[in-house]
Amino acid sequence: MNVTLENVSVRFKDATALDQVSLDWAPGRIHGLLGRNGAGKSTLFSLIAAGRRPTSGSVRVDGQNPWERGALTEQICLVRESGDVLVDDPISDTLEMVETLRPTFDRAYADDLVDAFGLRPKSKVNTLSRGQRSTVGAIIALASRAPLTLLDEVHLGMDAPTRQRFYDELIADFAENPRTYVISSHLIAELEPIIETVTILHRGALVMQDEADDVRTQGLTLTGPAATVADLVSGLPVIGTRDLGPTRQVTVYGELDAGDLERARAAGIEVGAVPLQDLFIHLTEEDPR
């Protein structure tokens, strides 16, 4: 499903959650939505899932206004980290309820996932740990097979091995059952290998929407002996520095001219792609360069 926003603003009494946001998420792809706390990500998701109307501007899913087309919401699955799951019922009852609401829900797949993630179907959701509740939310999102699946920091509570299993499962299922995903997360380095496009919100405004591959060329890293690297980057816009013993890795925003690049390579400096995390921090600094 295709998602299009045109000049969308959401204003509350004391806050502007979204400010003239225009964007386009193409169908059948995995999109990443990044932003600091309060950037407007959850507000954006609730507009798409018909949980709220914009103050101004237009929100369209496959060309239709989700607020006016109730039938569309069956096709859209929004799962939040808090877990939109029943709190008093066993996992199996929760899945049964979701199955009745969602025509595309694959119950057999959901049961397999419960097993694969080491959960017990009879466990009551309110007795689960935070991470386990997040896992139930993730299982619902995966098994929903909803043409538009929105994950709002759903994997935040999970431990690292569970998150990895979730990413692996998402990629494997996506290959067999392509659909449109939009995933928000603060765990940018983990999200980077999964997402095909990057959208960054900052204080309610869109600061980037780009192909992930193109984002990686918006800067570069130089890795090598600290003194050599420091000399090379002097005067360049540095947006990240990491030292590992005598080795320094510096992230530079923008391109290096051919001469500098040649000098770097001649000095044995390793030149790599920009980490999305460094770019994100740079673009969402309170006083960006």
Ligand X SMILES: Nc1ncnc2c1ncn2[C@@H]1O[C@H](COP(=O)(O)OP(=O)(O)OP(=O)(O)O)[C@@H](O)[C@H]1O
Residue numbers of the site for ligand X (CB under 6 A)? 12, 15, 17, 35, 37-43
Minimum distance of ligand X from residue 116's CB (angstroms)? 28
Q: Count other C-beta atoms under 10 Å from residue 187's C-beta.
A: 14
- Supply φ then ψ for residue 92, to 5 degrees: -65, -35
End-to-end CA distance of the chain: 36
* Residues 6-41 as b or e (16 or more Cβ within 10 Å = b): eebbbeeeeebbbbebebebeeebbbbbbbbeebbb
Angstrom distance (rounded) from CA 137 to CA 156: 11
In the complex, minimum distance from the CB of residue 275 to ligand X, in angstroms, rounded to a whole number:
20
Report the nearest approach of ligand X to the CB of residue 77 (Å).
18
119/187 with CB nearer ligand X: 187
Distance in angstroms (rounded) separating the CA atoms of residues 260 and 239 = 18
Closer CB to ligand X, 39 or 98, in the complex: 39
Nearest approach in angstroms of CB 156 to ligand X is 9
Q: In what order do the strands lie in the sheet with 3-11?
A: 16-25, 3-11, 56-61
Residue (264 or 276) nearer to ligand X, CB: 276
Q: Give the C-alpha separation, 63 to 101, whole Å.
A: 23
Distances, alpha carbon 134 to alpha carbons 35, 45, 128, 152, in Å: 20, 18, 9, 11
Contacts of 175 (CB under 8 A, 6+ apart): none
| Residue 286: CB minimum distance to ligand X, A | 15
User: How far apart are CB 184 and ligand X at their closest, in Å?
Assistant: 7
CB nearer to ligand X: pick between 153 and 169:
153
Between residues 46 and 135, which has the closer beta carbon with respect to ligand X? 46
Taking the least distance from each CB to ligand X, the nearer of 12 and 71 is 12
